[in-house]
Copies of this chain bind each other. A is one copy, B any other.
Amino acid sequence: MGESAQRPLRADAERSVHAILEAAERVLGEDPAAPMERVAEVAGVARATVHRRFTSRQALVEALADNAVRRLSQAIDDGRPDTAPPLVALHGITANVLRVKTTWSFALDRSTAEGSGTARAQEEIALRCLSLFTRARDAGILDTAADLEWVRRVYYALIGESLRGPDSDTDPDILAERIVRTLLHGFGPRPRASAP
């Protein structure tokens, strides 16, 4: 996490940067207009240090988004979207994504903003998601007529909704299960058990 990628930071500086990023996620997630002084407080550093490490509020938010998207991308890799069975991958990735989003929700929202340095990375993540849904459709898990772009958007919305409300601290695996079930089955009446 070298800020300028020119010379590695000393360990204490690295710790400071990380504390600032975490504090920024917390503080700016509650109020995007919160003063940098508040970010510094929560990070346990001086405001001058925040300014030394991030030249502006925007620079801080961009670094936050960058950091978050990297984690998100890794979480998706860990679910093996291209090799695991589609339904297994879908469950695993969903749970992994929930874990990242639980911690870096604000940053990830900011990472999709048009013009942001991370918008490209988010587009690539969306393509990988669509790719997984294509595999799922080909495996008979999704309806052949489904509009995969709308599926993806609904999927994202379900993830977002799962991170809000009183059950957002439930086990990510359980939330993932509910998301996938909702995505595949909706809420209509269950068909009666018929002979296989």
Q: Are A143 and B190 in contact (CB under 8 A)?
A: yes
Copies of this chain assembled into the complex: 2
On chain B, the residues within 8 Å of A140 by CB distance are 189
A167, chain B: closest CB distance, angstroms: 9
Please tell me if A165 contacts chain B, counting CB pairs below 8 Å.
yes
On chain B, the residues within 8 Å of A119 by CB distance are none
Please tell me if A70 contacts chain B, counting CB pairs below 8 Å.
no
- Per DSSP, are chain A's interface residues mostly helix, strand or loop, or mixed? loop
Please tell me if A178 contacts chain B, counting CB pairs below 8 Å.
yes
On chain B, the residues within 8 Å of A190 by CB distance are 143, 145
Kindly list the 7 A-B residue pairs having the minimum CB-CB distance in the complex, ordered from nearest: A186-B186, A184-B188, A157-B161, A157-B157, A185-B186, A146-B187, A33-B33
11 further A-B contacts with Cβ under 8 Å, apart from A141-B189, A194-B194, are A142-B187, A142-B189, A143-B187, A143-B190, A154-B161, A156-B161, A157-B158, A182-B186, A184-B187, A184-B188, A185-B186
